[in-house]
Amino acid sequence: AATRTAIIAGNWKMNYGPRQAADFVKQILPALAHVIRTHPHIVSILCPPDISLQVVRDVLDAQPTRGIELGAQNLYFEEKGAYTGEISAEMVKELCSAVILGHSERRTYFAETDELVNKKLLAALKHHLLPIVCVGETLQQYESGQTSQIIEQQVRHSLANLQPEQAGQIVIAYEPLWAIGSGKAATVDDAVKVIRQIRQIYSSQYGSSAAQAIRILYGGSVTADNIAAFTAQEDIDGALVGGASLKAEFVDLVRNSS
């Protein structure tokens, strides 16, 4: 992580509508802003549900802090039109600087494929959003030794078709599905091994300078207590955090990541 700015992103998932989101962000912001100001090599990205983006934007704008950013949890790749229930990259960009793409819950419950994730990625980049593209294997794939094969497939296909100037502008989150929301994080060794592999695959796709530029995060049951073990690793550039991003603990987690 030495030369790359670390990212701690909070994925609120389907939690906190506008009222609760405003209350929560007002509650954590003073302490979070202090941590970010005193740790300028960390960027924190809050990712509330779409319907709460505006209220969180307003709270953040009332006390602007470099390094606290707003992200969406998804978008649709088309520019506009008859796609009921969807929002475009251009719409996201009005409020956000980042977007999570291909989260395992999107892949599992909403049948998102690598091909779809790739289209969303291209749309996000076109509109200058920082995409956080998630990859990860299931428990069954992990137990049957298929992790590296699954990861290779997801990286090659989800991250295909980038222009050379775009290739350094992305973030990948390695999130083993069995570690998400389970309270059972991957071991640091496993996370490092897969993250190194991701960087190698990416290097073979886009060259070593792009591969050295991108941030690769770990995600899956990260807490204020275990974050430091992950971020102490040169190869791990931060975390994508679910459950622990919904509590005041998130501020401790961000602090402990440095």
Q: Active-site residues: which are they?
A: 103, 175
Task: Pull the structure tokens for residue 226.
Answer: 């275990």
Q: Which of 180, 201, 210, 251 binds ligand PEP (CB under 6 A)?
A: 180
48 contacts ligand PEP (rule: CB under 6 A): no
CB of 244 to ligand PEP, least distance (A): 6
Residues 202-241 that bind ligand PEP (CB under 6 A): 219-222, 240-241
Task: Pull the structure tokens for residue 96.
Answer: 């956000």
Residues 63 and 33: beta-carbon distance below 8 Å: yes
8 contacts ligand PEP (rule: CB under 6 A): no
3 state SS of 8: strand
User: One-letter amino acid identity for 57?
Assistant: R
243 contacts ligand PEP (rule: CB under 6 A): yes
User: One-letter amino acid identity for 209?
Assistant: S
Residues 244 and 220: beta-carbon distance below 8 Å: no
Q: Which residue is nearest to ligand PEP (CB)?
A: 242
10 contacts ligand PEP (rule: CB under 6 A): no
- Residue 238 or 243: the one with the smaller Cβ distance to ligand PEP is 243
From 41-49, 60-68, 81-89, 242-250, give the range in contact with ligand PEP by CB under 6 A.
Answer: 242-250
CB of 107 to ligand PEP, least distance (A): 12
Instruction: Please give the Cα distance from 173 to 101 (Å, whole number).
Output: 10
Residues 42 and 67: beta-carbon distance below 8 Å: yes
- Residue 70 or 167: the one with the smaller Cβ distance to ligand PEP is 70
- Residue 100 or 167: the one with the smaller Cβ distance to ligand PEP is 100
CA Rg, the chain, in Å? Answer: 17
CB of 170 to ligand PEP, least distance (A): 17
3 state SS of 158: helix
- Residue 29 or 180: the one with the smaller Cβ distance to ligand PEP is 180
CB of 223 to ligand PEP, least distance (A): 8
CA neighbor of 55 nearest in space, from 93, 85, 17: 17
Contacts of 2 (CB under 8 A, 6+ apart): 234
Applying CB under 6 A, the residues found at the interface with ligand PEP are 11, 175, 180-181, 219-222, 240-244
